[in-house]
Homo-oligomer: A and B are copies of this chain.
């Protein structure tokens, strides 16, 4: 299964491409914005596509033509200007969903935020709320498609080494989770079609990722 990783140069994205390249059943195509980001991925043996998420849907669809699945892990992050929140976290995400449709790629894995519900928008601190709004509408757009989607809602992301120990369910207590473990969750989701049509929160817990995914 060939997987287009959108936002490959991000902190989760790099872990995802690395893990995919280590797995016999998967191969990665890293979608990145700049040529100078390519070497990291080429060194891993991954394919590379240079596409700007602020560009046309058709360019993204072209990058998706030869893949079987798309992982969206791009993010302006909550600390960038809110213009990028609108252009990347909302519109960039929606464009990749539309590109998936155009390219006939059914499988789509979205890395969302821990809680993107209406209630989360209303209770978010003022500086964070716009980011939650953007993720809320991107998730809603995806749910409204016929794609085979999975929406992953990670807890507070850290750069700690992955523990391969998570709590994973529709609702889990708020907590931290290493980006490397989220990458594992993405890879196991790709490998288990039982995750199709589901969404779940993930934080550090007591269950190995594969087992947690299988018991969903």
Contact = CB atoms under 8 A, between A and B. Distances in A.
Interface of A: 55-57, 81-83, 85-87, 90-91, 94, 118, 121-122, 126-127, 129-130, 133-134, 136-137, 144
A60 B162 CA distance: 45
Contacts of A129: 83, 86-87
Closest A-B pairs by Cβ, 8 of them: A82-B82, A86-B130, A82-B83, A83-B130, A91-B133, A86-B133, A137-B137, A87-B130
12 contacts: A55-B122, A81-B82, A82-B83, A82-B85, A82-B130, A83-B127, A83-B129, A86-B130, A86-B134, A87-B130, A87-B133, A94-B137
A89 to B, nearest CB: 10
Nearest to A94: B137
Contacts of A126: 83
The residue in A55, A56, A134 that gathers the most chain B C-beta atoms within 10 A of its C-beta is: A134
A62 B73 CA distance: 39
Contacts of A118: 57
A110 to B, nearest CB: 16
Nearest to A85: B86
Given A82-B83, A83-B129, 13 more contacts: A81-B82, A82-B130, A83-B126, A83-B127, A85-B86, A86-B86, A86-B129, A86-B130, A86-B133, A86-B134, A90-B137, A91-B133, A94-B137
Nearest to A119: B56
A28 B102 CA distance: 46
A28 to B, nearest CB: 28
A94 B121 CA distance: 13
The residue in A55, A56, A90, A126 that gathers the most chain B C-beta atoms within 10 A of its C-beta is: A90
Nearest to A127: B83
Contacts of A136: 91
